[in-house]
């Protein structure tokens, strides 16, 4: 990674969620914390399509304190705790009021970053928790950059662990 890398702005995320999910593959997720820059290349993501998506937290238009971030502007982090043990990171997509997001499922870790082969491992390796819920995906804390490296291969498959919804 170098200084010419382009940080993705909110307009990148303010598009069709499926397109955003595909376009995120190969991009680099960066977490700056305690004077360190931790990063990994996005290799697996999952789109959640709002009120009509039975697997989305916003299914049926449900708006709660937990899901409120999804209804906000694009290009923000939606971080939640699941199964009583893991934090999960999502990127809010679409325009304000359309509660959709892309879940970060896996990264190819950069130097010094631990295993990132699942949503909980990603957040653990990059020290991501509720403190970043609602944070804009912009420096200095958490952001995504396009370093010009294309994704190696793209596969579109049904969701992991979710049946009959997408």
Residue 65 lies in a domain: yes
Residue 166 lies in a domain: no
| 140 cis-preceded (ω within 30 degrees of 0) | yes
pTM score, two decimals? 0.89
Cα angle for residues 91, 123, 75 (degrees, 5° grid): 15
- Domain count along the chain: 1
CATH number at residue 130: 3.10.300.10
Domain that holds residue 21: 6-146
Strand, coil or helix: 133: coil
What residues pair up with 100 in beta bridges, in sequence order?
Answer: 93
Mean pLDDT score of the chain: 89
> What pLDDT digit, counting tens, does each position of 126-151 carry?
999 999 999 999 999 999 999 998 88
CB-based contacts of 127, cutoff 8 Å, min separation 6: 31, 33, 38
In angstroms, what is the C-alpha Rg of the chain?
Answer: 15
Of the pLDDT bands very low, low, confident and very high (cuts 50, 70, 90), residue 3 is low
> What pLDDT digit, counting tens, does each position of 15-59 carry?
999 999 999 999 999 999 999 999 999 999 999 888 787 777 777
């Amino acid at each position: 990674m170098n200084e010419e890398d382009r940080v993705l702005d909110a307009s990148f995320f303010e598009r069709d969620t499926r397109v955003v999910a595909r376009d995120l593959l190969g991009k680099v997720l960066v977490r700056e914390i305690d004077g360190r820059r931790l990063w990994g290349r996005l290799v697996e993501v999952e789109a959640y399509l709002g009120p009509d998506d039975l697997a989305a937290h916003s299914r049926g238009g449900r708006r709660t304190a937990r899901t409120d971030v999804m209804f906000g502007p694009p290009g923000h982090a939606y971080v939640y705790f699941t199964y009583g043990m893991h934090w999960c990171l999502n990127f809010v997509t679409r325009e304000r009021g359309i509660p959709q997001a892309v879940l970060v499922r896996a990264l190819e870790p950069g130097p010094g970053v631990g295993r990132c082969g699942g949503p909980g491992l990603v957040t653990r390796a990059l020290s991501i928790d509720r403190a970043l819920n609602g944070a804009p995906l912009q420096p200095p804390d958490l952001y995504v950059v396009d370093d010009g490296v294309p994704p190696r291969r793209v596969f579109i498959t049904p969701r992991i662990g979710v049946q009959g919804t997408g």
